[in-house]
Chains A and B, each alone.
Chain A
Amino acid sequence: EPEVTQTPSHQVTQMGQEVILRCVPISNHLYFYWYRQILGQKVEFLVSFYNNEISEKSEIFDDQFSVERPDGSNFTLKIRSTKLEDSAMYFCASSGPGTATRGFGPGTRLTVT
């Protein structure tokens, strides 16, 4: 069964550094998402992406964040200047047209020190 994959599984970075989290969505899916989960808290929506542009973003997704689909398979989340509070698990998800269910990736644990 096709799955969403994410790399790396764990990223440690220093405050102020840029990080890029990578995702490979399920191949025939058209909609892509990033969510995050701070340890012990609920999963929060960050951004949705369709047809090479952002469809919707939350208030968390400020100017420090950006997303890109650089080629036909990858979907990336960039944090330009990381803060301590960006430490969280970041989940990529994708979905196809006509279905509300998501395939979620295993997550990237980002630790900002």
Chain B
Amino acid sequence: SQQGEEDPQALSIQEGENATMNCSYKTSINNLQWYRQNSGRGLVHLILIRSNEREKHSGRLRVTLDTSKKSSSLLITASRAADTASYFCATSDSSNFGNEKLTFGTGTRLTIIP
């Protein structure tokens, strides 16, 4: 598999339920970031977790990182129709913050059913 693969590829849930998306990667990383992309639009940064962190929260978002399994999960609690979007993980292998490339995953298309 390639660096940064999300699963599932697509997820449909009822509004109010929790959505969990997973990301796996292959190489060592310095940090992992999650982005949201509404259809045909730009990327919105959601949250960053560093390689020495295991869990991070931001509002209704919870991200976990397991470097031993080279995987991360994004949990969105109490989903809303506005959460409908594609979600991408992106990894960086550099500690040179600000000057490193991101390697994006394949994305999970999340649909929230009202």
**Contact between B31 and A91 (Cβ–Cβ < 8 Å)?**
no
Residue pair A31, B98 in contact (C-beta under 8 Å): yes
Q: Is the CB of B98 within 8 A of A43?
A: no
Q: Interface residue count for B (Cβ, 8 Å)?
A: 26
- Closest residue of chain A to B30 (Cβ to Cβ) is A100
One of A14-22, A48-56, A63-71, A77-85 at the interface:
A48-56
Assembly CA distance A107 to B48 (angstroms): 22
A31→B48 contact, CB < 8 A:
no
Query: How far, in Å, is A42 (CB) from chain B's closest CB?
Result: 5
Chain A interface main SS type: strand
Mark interface residues in A78-113 (1 if CB within 8 Å of B CB, else 0): 000000000001010101111111111111010000
In the docked arrangement, what's the CA distance between A99 and B90, Å? 15
A43 to B41 alpha-carbon distance, docked (Å): 12
Contact A100 B103 (CB under 8 A): no
Closest to A95 in B: B98
Whole-angstrom distance between the Cβ of A97 and the nearest chain B Cβ: 5
Task: Give A96 to B92 CA distance when docked, in angstroms.
Answer: 15
Pick from B14-22, B65-73, B75-83, B104-112 the stretch touching chain A: B104-112
Q: A104–B99 contact, CB under 8 A?
A: no
A26-64 contact mask (Cβ, 8 Å, vs B): 1 or 0 = 000011010100000011110010100001101000000
* Residue of B4, B44, B104 contacting most chain A CB atoms (<10 Å): B104
Q: Which residues of A contact B (CB under 8 A)?
A: 30-31, 33, 35, 42-45, 48, 50, 55-56, 58, 89, 91, 93, 95-107, 109
Q: Which 5 A-B pairs have the closest CB atoms?
A: A106-B42, A104-B43, A43-B104, A45-B101, A95-B98
